[in-house]
Amino acid sequence: MARGGASYIAGIGSCLPERVVTSREIEERVGFREKLGLPRGTIERLSGIRERRHVEPGVGPSDLAAQAGREALKDAGLTPDEVEVLIFAACSHDLMEPATANIVQEKLGAVNAEVFDLKNACNSFLNALDVLDAFIASKRCRIGLVVSGEVISCYIDWAVTQKKDLERKFSGLTLGDGAGAAVVRPVNGDGRSIVSIGFSSRGSEWRLAVVEAGGSLKTGEKMLFYSDSEKLMGLALEEVSPLLSHAIAESGWTPDDVDLIIPHQASVDIIRKIAERIGVPFERCMITIDRYGNTGAASIPIALCEARREGRLKPGSKVLLAGGASGFSAGAITLVW
């Protein structure tokens, strides 16, 4: 766990596709009742997801990311040509080569930025905040922008022919598309700052959630997402909960001090259980999975934007960003808004 204090989030933005896809539509397409003999509402009952957004054909991660980045820069009172470092941080990407950050740079007009991709599944956004904080602390840059654009609905395997298929394919049915972005700048004395940053990994569990394509081991394969949801949730309790407790203590806070938890949106149930374990009331957790599904690395910045729109993110709020990702990796960042 590293102490922060060098930087703060100066602006945030998000972008969500207009097309709403309900869990009922997903169940009808798969054939939950006809083929699997499952009742309507199974997806919502198991995951808490009522609906999510899916892009129209031809819309890529860079399109969503550029729009979210544009909104974040406007929020921070900056223009694209002022960005010094641009990081694209997401599960998805436009192409294998080049880095999607280059495509975002063109669409955004961030002509003066150093650009690169950072990929660590659903923790990519948190890792990018860590990198930008380090860049700012070392005076490598003064204005950084992280964009997470996720088009992951294309990873869904719709071929669910029997109940046992759901063991590996259910998580895919929860995926939604969207993007979030954040501008990171040096602290300016107004009290806003990133306070602490920490990560942990258990690489031996990488097989629990995979897209078995897009790399040298699986060329020519269709990119589909499979996971062991039950084992992943158990691992999240084991790995994420203690990391969050440590982050709170490292920040000099108690659980009572935490005003808002912005968690990765994978399951309402697991968010509730983690909050209980670390001693923070569930009511202080920002939930967006019910209406946006699991939007991968974009879920945390999207939830940040939603929290502010709802008046839950206020000046001086003590916020805990809580991440869990394939790999398996856990992430925690505390900040004062």
Positions marked active-site: 122, 264, 294
My answer on whether omega of the bond before 98 falls inside 30° of 0, hence cis, is yes
The neighbouring-strand residues paired with 116 are 87
What tokens appear for 306 in the block?
A: 């939603």
Q: Residue 147: which of 187, 184, 193, 112 has the closest Cα? A: 184
CA nearest 54: which of 150, 153, 179? Answer: 153
Sign of CA dihedral 277, 321, 282, 44: negative
Residue appearing with tokens 């974009």? 298
Contact criterion met (CB below 8 Å) for 132 and 118: no
State the amino acid at position 12 in one-letter form.
I
Please name the residue ranges forming H helices in 22-60.
Answer: 23-30, 42-47
> CA-based Rg of the chain, rounded to a whole angstrom?
19
Q: How many residues does the chain have?
A: 337
